[in-house]
Amino acid sequence: MFSLSEENYLKAIFHLETAYKGGVSTNALAEEMQTKASSVTDMVKRLSDKDLVNYKKYQGVKLSDAGKDAAIEVIRKHRLWEVFLVDKLNFNWDEVHEVAEQLEHIKSEKLTNELDKFLEYPKRDPHGDPIPDAQGNFAVANRALLSDLKKGETGICVGVKDSSAEFLQYLDKNKISLGKEIKVLEKEDFDQSMIIKMDRNELMISNLISANLFIKTT
């Protein structure tokens, strides 16, 4: 089994690998883990000794197959617990992250699989991210960013790229939620800001917002 810290590193490497493809640099990992580069080098060596990552000095890290499996298992647990918190315990989607960060490290295969069953095998977490199944298979997201839509196009809001409490609270305040149809009424060339229509409301949003909303085009 892996330590809490090891699991967090594996998860971080996984996220960085998928976000940017290819090896993950020491500094990028340090930034993601909110720690120092020298601490990262230390840990990366330990993970390498355990064959969870492939590491060569000055060349960044990549997850091994075993490392990837471990990372996906942690992500599976994280997302399942998020669903539990929102669907069963009245948490809002902006309150789940911190608690799920703790719950994702609980070690019990039976717990994970029974929780999955109890929640009726959810496919996505409250932020629209796919939940790996017990075999580690992901539903690959077929989605674009709202910022990529052109004037006049429509789509259904299916996920958030930034799931910080601040962003989610902005969305709540403006009644933007997953499953809603969004139409781009206007798009400003200069700053990429948009006027969008949801339900019967029109709303002006900046590029920082639209570039963090995943859309399934209709």
Nearer to DNA, 29 or 96 (CB): 29
Q: Rule CB under 7 A: choose which of 19, 20, 38, 89 binds DNA.
A: 38
- The angle at the Cα of 99, spanning 97 to 101, to the nearest 5 degrees, equals 70
Nearer to a second copy, 7 or 17 (CB): 7
Return the number of other C-beta atoms located less than 10 Å from residue 212's C-beta.
20
Q: What is the chain's alpha carbon radius of gyration, rounded to the nearest angstrom?
A: 19
Q: Does 39 bind DNA (CB under 7 A)?
A: yes
Q: Rule CB under 8 A: choose which of 19, 20, 42, 118 binds a second copy.
A: 118
Of the candidates 56, 67, 81, 98, the one whose C-alpha atom is nearest the C-alpha of residue 2 is 67
CB of 109 to a second copy, least distance (A): 10
Specify burial of residue 82 (Cβ count, 10 A radius: 0-12, 13-18, 19+).
buried
Q: Which helix (H) or strand (E) segment is 169 a member of?
A: helix 165-173
Q: Does 108 bind a second copy (CB under 8 A)?
A: yes
Q: Does 193 bind DNA (CB under 7 A)?
A: no
Q: Does 105 bind DNA (CB under 7 A)?
A: no
How many residues lie near a second copy (CB under 8 A)?
18
Binding site for a second copy (CB under 8 A): 85, 88-91, 95, 98-99, 102-103, 106-108, 110-111, 114-115, 118
